[in-house]
Amino acid sequence: MAEKILIVDDDVDTLRLVGLMLQRQGYEISAASNGSQGLAKALEERPDLILLDVMMPDMDGYEVTRRLRKNPVTVAIPILMFTAKTQLDDKVTGFEVGADDYLTKPTHPTELQSHVKALLARAVHKEPKDIVTASPEQHGYVIGVLSARGGLGVSSLAANLAAGIFTRTQSDVILAELTPGQGVFGINFDVPTQKGLTEILQGSVVEVTREKVQASLVPHTSGIKLFLASDNPRDITLTSQVANYEALVSRLSSLARFIVLDLGTGLPTFVQKILPICAERIIVMEGTPSTIQHTKMLIDNIVDMHIDRKSISVVLNNRQRSEAQMSWTQVQEKLGHSIASTLTPAPELFLQAERMQTPAVMCQPTNMTSQQFLKIADTLIEREKAQ
């Protein structure tokens, strides 16, 4: 695969000429015309090298470098400053803020190519620049819960798994909902503060610090900690902040032994980025023909992301006592994928849980459906111990 070089320069001629020259050398080129755009592209694309101008109107190259070096996602990407600033002090400043190399304009194409090759060669021997998924102190067990479409019980399963795991382990457990504008935990558990996710996604990725994420967690009487999404439908546009999502999951992973993520429905881009980070991927479905078909396609899509099919668990949630729903054996056969667990209908249990503003496993732990939640939790705990 060709190495990717991100060129950040407000001079259109430089972008075109340098980009074309490097492209002819076999590199994949990405371009940004200002510092802010360059920073965003670096965080999203994680190139193999950044060719960075210094003098830009909105954010100069020094500030871009500072921000790249502060973020674990981009800290190891080689940066070659390519600028008309020729003073010694300018070069010293470039190296002080974190640049790996410095070239002044104009320069001969051969000289530029040699510097690019040298930086890329050195980078090969460095640690991979993949996103950090935990702090050195702790690497939490991340569990992602999702479904092919809405209304199948993703939030209910996520909440009860988190509560069940806490009940069994008495360890730190975080329950996080990650779809802005569709938050339900704040309402269901009578928690007034629902700005955690919105504030994280509205800021820059550099601001997604461990301390800020920790301050956004809300303790609940059940013992779990909540990271909440808003219920304002307009906030759904924030799902485009993919780099913030990756940083967020990394920080959450450093704050608890178990992290249960309510990923909502389908495979938006942010979910595609988060699923590979998860240790467990749980899909919720019901036994109807349309849901089986949608779920089958969802599983295939996840497998296409180079995720092992065996690492995907399916929970059959029979929410209603209906003859229209198939048995788990029929569902399994039509789905072409094993059913890990089945939940029996318990409308009275969930009504009581709603009134008590707590997960179902907390209000009636001996109920059959509560026991089914706890059994799934026990399985996850055993896998976490084995890992």
* Residue 246 near residue 273, CB atoms below 8 Å: yes
Q: What's domain 4-124's superfamily in CATH?
A: Response regulator (3.40.50.2300)
pTM (2 decimals)? Answer: 0.66
3-state helix, strand, coil in the chain (%, to 5): 50, 15, 35
**Half-sphere exposure (CA, 13 Å, Cβ side) for 104?**
7
According to the model, what pLDDT value does residue 135 have? Answer: 39
Q: Which of 8-12, 55-59, 257-261, 369-373 has the lowest mean pLDDT?
A: 55-59
What is the fold, at CATH topology level, of the domain defined by 141-386?
A: Rossmann fold (3.40.50)
Q: Do domains 4-124 and 141-386 have the same CATH topology?
A: yes
**Distance between CA atoms of residues 235 and 216, nearest Å:** 17
Residues linked to residue 31 through DSSP beta bridges, in sequence order: 7
Q: What value does the mean pLDDT of the chain take?
A: 88
Could you give the percent of the chain with pLDDT greater than 70? 93
The pLDDT tens digits for 125-180 are: 444 444 333 334 457 999 999 999 999 999 999 999 999 999 999 999 999 999 99
**Distance between CA atoms of residues 193 and 154, nearest Å:** 22
Q: Is 324 or 253 the better-scoring residue by pLDDT?
A: 253
Q: Is 152 or 124 the better-scoring residue by pLDDT?
A: 152
Q: What are the sequence ranges of the domains in the chain? A: 4-124, 141-386
According to the model, what pLDDT value does residue 337 have? Answer: 94
Per-residue exposure over 163-186, b if at least 16 CB sit within 10 Å of its own CB, e if not: bbbbbebeebbbbbbbbbbbbbbb
The pLDDT tens digits for 11-49 are: 888 888 888 989 999 999 999 988 888 888 888 788 999
247, containing H or E segment: helix 242-253
The pLDDT tens digits for 340-368 are: 999 988 889 888 988 888 899 988 889 99
Could you give the percent of the chain with pLDDT greater than 90? 51
- pLDDT bin (cut points 50, 70, 90) of residue 336 is very high
- pLDDT bin (cut points 50, 70, 90) of residue 1 is low
Is residue 109 over pLDDT 50? yes
How much is the average pLDDT of 277-299?
Answer: 94
Inter-CA distances, 103 with 22, 53, 90, 95, 111, Å: 15, 10, 11, 12, 9
**Distance between CA atoms of residues 184 and 154, nearest Å:** 11
